[in-house]
Structure 1
Amino acid sequence: MANAHAEHHDPNVYYVPHGSRWPVFASVALFTTMIGFASWLNEASWGRTVFFVGLAGLLAILFKWFGDVIRESLSGVYNKQVDTSFRMGMVWFIFSEVMFFAAFFGALFYARQFALPWLNGVGDGAATHSLLWPDFAGGWPSNGPAAIGGSYQTIPAWGLPLLNTMILLTSGVTVTIAHHALKEGKRGILLLFLGLTVLLGGLFLFYQAEEYMHAYKELNLTLGSGIYGSTFFMLTGFHGAHVTLGTIMLAVIWLRCLKGHFNKDNHFAFEAVAWYWHFVDVVWLGLFLFVYVL
Structure 2
Amino acid sequence: MAEDTINIRSSELSDPMPDPTGPTQPGDLNDALIATDVWTDQMVADAGIPIVDIPMVSVGGGIGSFELVDHLRIAGMSTNQLRVLSNLDVPWQTYEYLTKVSQVPRKERLRSDSQSMPDNIWGFPSFAFREAWTDKTLDPIWNVCTEPILRDYYTPRAGHVFETMEREAHRISYFDMCVKGQVRMVRRRYGGGYFTILTPPQGAAATKRIAYRSTYVHISVGYPGVKFLPDLQAYRTAYDDYVRVVNAYEPHEHVYEELKRKPGLVMIRGGGIVASR
Shorter-chain TM-score bucket reads under 0.3
More strand by share: 2
Structure (1 or 2) with the greater helix fraction: 1
Flag the structure with more relative contact order, 1 or 2, with Cα contacts below 8 A and sequence separation at least 6: 2
What is the TM-score of this pair, normalised by structure 1? 0.23
- Calculate the TM-score normalised by the size of structure 2: 0.24
